[in-house]
Structures are given as structure tokens and as C-alpha cells.
């Protein structure tokens, strides 16, 4: 028993009281809360930046999609016009 206590005293030179442990636990929890709040703010900022970038890409894609669709429809009308001219329909 005494050897166990001697080993324990060698590892932990002073035994902390319950109040010290409670204070250390509270300080640790406060630090963790601050870290989590900071990380949450960083994630919110990054997600808002990503969301903004996605919205810009979506607007650009919509413009390009409408342009491609209008080109295809115009080409379709041109082909129909050429085919009707070849067939002497008009």
C-alpha cells in the first residue's frame, strides 16, 4: 500500500483538492466553449463564402444555358427554313 502511495506521490507531487479540480474543469470547459464558438463562427463565414460562390456559378450557368438554348432553337429554325426552301414549300 505504501509503495503505491509512494509511486502516486512520485507521479503527482501534490494532490489537488476537489475545489482545484472543479476550477480546472470549469476553466477547461470555458476554453472549450470559446474554441467551439470560434470554430462555429469560422465555419459560418466559410459556408457563407461557399454559398456566395455557388450562387455566382449558378447565375453564370443559367446565362450560358439560356444562350446555348437560344442558339439551338435559332439553328433549328434555320435548318427548317433551309429544308423548306430546298423542298420549295415556301
Nearest to 90 by CA among 82, 60, 7, 9: 82
Residues in Cβ contact with 90 at an 8 Å cutoff, skipping those fewer than 6 apart: 81, 84
More confident residue, 16 or 60: 60
* pLDDT digit string, tens, across residues 30-71: 999 999 999 999 999 999 999 999 998 888 888 889 999 999
The answer to whether residues 24 and 16 touch, using CB atoms and an 8 Å cutoff, is: yes
pLDDT tier at 22 (50, 70, 90 boundaries)? Answer: confident
The answer to whether residues 84 and 90 touch, using CB atoms and an 8 Å cutoff, is: yes
**14 vs 8: CA distance, rounded Å:** 10
Say yes or no to pLDDT of 3 above 70.
no
Q: What is the pTM of this model?
A: 0.46
Amino acid at each position: 500500500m505504501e509503495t503505491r502511495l509512494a509511486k502516486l506521490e512520485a507521479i503527482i507531487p501534490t494532490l489537488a483538492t476537489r475545489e482545484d479540480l472543479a476550477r480546472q474543469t470549469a476553466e477547461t470547459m470555458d476554453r472549450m466553449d470559446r474554441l467551439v464558438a470560434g470554430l462555429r463562427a469560422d465555419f459560418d463565414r466559410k459556408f457563407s463564402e461557399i454559398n456566395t460562390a455557388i450562387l455566382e456559378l449558378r447565375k453564370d450557368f443559367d446565362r450560358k444555358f439560356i444562350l446555348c438554348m437560344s442558339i439551338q432553337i435559332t439553328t433549328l429554325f434555320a435548318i427548317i427554313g433551309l429544308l423548306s426552301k430546298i423542298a420549295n414549300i415556301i
